[in-house]
Amino acid sequence: MGIMGFMRDRMGKIIAFLIGFALLAFIIGEVLRSGGSFFRDDRNELGDVSGEKVAYDEFAKKVDQNSAQFRQQSGQGNLTPQITSYIQETTWNQMISQLILKKEVERLGLVIGDDEAKSMVSGDSPNPQIVQAFGDPKTGQLDRGKLNTFLNNLNASKADDPLRQQWSDFVTQMIEAKLSEKYVSLVTNGLYVNSLEAKDDYEAKNKLANFKYVVLNYASIPDSKVTVTDDDYQSYYDEHKNEFKNQQETRTFDYVSFNASPSAADSAAIKAQADKLLISFKATKDDSTFVQINAETKAPLVYVHKGRLEPKLDSVMFTEGNGFVYGPYLSGNSYKIAKLVDSRFEPDSVKARHILIDDKTIGLDKAMAKADSLKKLIEGGKSFAELANMFSVDKNSAVKGGDLGTFGRGAMIPVFEDAVFSGKKGDLKIVASQFGVHLIEIEEQKGSSKVVKVAVVDVPLKASSQTQTTVYSKAQGFLGNLTKDNFDAEAKKEGVQKKTATDVNGVAASLPGIASAREIVRWAFNAQTGDFSDKVYISDDQYIVAQLVIIKKKGILPLDAVKKQIEPLVKNKVKAKTLTDKLQSALNGASNIDQVAQKAGATATPIENIVFANPVIPGSSAEYKVIGTVFGSQPNKLSKPIEGQQGVYVFVLNSFTNPPALTNAVREKQQLGQAILQRADAQIFEALRDKANIKDFRVKFL
């Protein structure tokens, strides 16, 4: 279950698994799980991977599971559109990687046999996940006693015991990860660095070039002096066509937003509402209920240390007496009132262990009675650790005798924290939470400092219905006045700034300045170039009108779609012709680089100790073509004009400084091979993904 693991440091690890891992993490952990049947109805088809359907039902189920787990681990009741979008994207990539690798594993006939699977659990070299779950924290080695006790209890459990399914999922995940490791090993074992490659790499990093160059920068010719023809665009496009491959379909649209933020009158009305609440807040005896009824943010009342409150409260609440009320004060987009409910001194940290009893199956009363019976057994001399291993449904801690380690305030759920921080060493306490009934033993307490419990009621600043109606009418009027080509003029007339959402994909959840953008993105993917939005779209206090300007299909983009993007580069290409002619003229009759510089009206710049592996000209930028040509040149010979990134160059190579002869090719091969292996995992997946025919229909569903 990992329930209490969340309540401390495991929380960050689980969130990182859901949100922070790159696609490769899913390759390792989730190779084959998506092998179930799919619905054939196209209305349920979220995507297609080389002919195998990705069902929306299955995707939605996984998203719900990941979202629920994130809420549980983070304590967030509502997920922001950005977090929701990220979970959806992560889940999609997970399912895609599963299908791609499943096909490869099946094609190659890779399997994990029964003996190998058994060895992963209880063999001489058990899987690291088994060691982590059943290991001795002090030695880091597998505690076979713990493992055997767990397996015996598992075998003795009922067929419908949830623990059986949890263990089955755990073993399946290990097997899937092992299959993935086998596949990756098959590929990476074929990677090899020979002696010639090692020598080339050594020289690329250590051979030094000393040369002198002249450059005529593209910026020396104003853009206004350059005439670019259609042939120029076509020529550049043809030479760089593969650079314009669009990995997924996108839309670009212009939009304006009319802000329905609260007016001065709205703000005054909210302040008056907060003033009225202040009187009732001072008088109430039930602060928790008052917060739940009247606050917009219904946060539980918990004890916190100094530094954990917002600055305005932190400076006063630790010096005032219980019942002190502060506010109303403006904080962000809300008026707030804060009340000091209680203050006390308590330990800085607590070491505790627990036995968690599931109250969902047997009911709260029976769970409490069971906890009380276990408490009496422990008070009578029974081992807490043995009982935890036998009865606790929190198996992550149960295998460690219920041990939760040492933790401070904020690591656990409030009801659990209140129990362990208000008790004393040796206490056995029973509390109920959303996870079940906990029998807790306080093993140790350290330190002491003041904590406070503060109730906060927030009244958000919201625009009144009158303000919203006025702004909406203004946006509706703007939309009604639009034609195909007057968007800019109307925006200027209304005094609103036109913004551009560039290359938006079909699952984008937000746009600059717009937190919730799914509706307008869906519109964009059903519109045609030049269309303006079919209605005024609303996101929080923003009323939005848009016009679709560019559609980019998946695949190689046509010239028209990239023409604006490549315009500066095409202009540089045209400028290069003029600058090349100028330098070629300067080369005629010149015997050294200084004469070329003088004739071209430029400066000859010396440069030393440049390596091929780092082709950067100091004060400029990476010049791959120029540096590459330098290392292929003969000393004391003027080069031809070379088109670089910043301008057109002519150089003369003065000398090379060769490194000592490579005496340890083995070490060089190992270093280069290690660098290749570090990139291999990600590149393997990218190669498989590029090869797979992936169709993405998510815009229809999300």
The 10s digit of each residue's pLDDT in 449-465 is 999 999 999 999 999 99
The 10s digit of each residue's pLDDT in 62-119 is 888 888 878 777 766 677 777 888 888 888 888 888 888 888 888 888 888 888 888 8
In the predicted model, is pLDDT for residue 19 greater than 70?
A: no
Q: Confidence band (pLDDT; 50, 70, 90) for 42? A: low
Q: What is the mean pLDDT of residues 278-296?
A: 93
**Tokens read off for 35:** 């092998």
Q: Kindly report which listed range (30-34, 95-99, 536-540, 608-612) carries the lowest average pLDDT score.
A: 30-34
For the chain, what's the residue count?
702
Pick from 510, 575, 482: which is nearest to 221 by CA? 575
CATH number of 250-261+464-553: 3.10.50.40
Q: Percent of the chain, pLDDT > 90? A: 54
E strands, 126-224, in order: 208-217
Query: What is the model's pLDDT at position 149?
Result: 85
Give ranges for CATH 3.10.50.40 in the chain: 250-261+464-553, 349-446
E strands, 540-625, in order: 542-552, 555-556, 605-611
Determine the 3-state secondary structure of 251 from DSSP. strand
Query: What is the model's pLDDT at position 38?
Result: 30
Task: List, edge to edge, every strand of the sheet that includes 52-55.
Answer: 52-55, 45-49, 694-696
Query: What is the model's pLDDT at position 75?
Result: 66
The 10s digit of each residue's pLDDT in 507-519 is 888 888 888 888 9
* Mean of pLDDT over the chain: 87
Q: How far apart are CA 526 and CA 531, in angstroms?
A: 10
In the predicted model, is pLDDT for residue 344 greater than 70?
A: yes
Q: Confidence band (pLDDT; 50, 70, 90) for 538? A: very high
Q: What is the mean pLDDT of residues 21-33?
A: 36
CB 533 within 8 A of CB 544: yes
CATH number of 264-346: 3.10.50
Q: What is the mean pLDDT of residues 579-592?
A: 95
Q: Domain 349-446 - what CATH class?
A: alpha beta
Q: What is the mean pLDDT of residues 195-217?
A: 94
In the predicted model, is pLDDT for residue 145 greater than 50?
A: yes
In the predicted model, is pLDDT for residue 33 greater than 60?
A: no
In the predicted model, is pLDDT for residue 40 greater than 60?
A: no
The 10s digit of each residue's pLDDT in 239-271 is 999 899 888 899 999 999 999 989 999 999 999
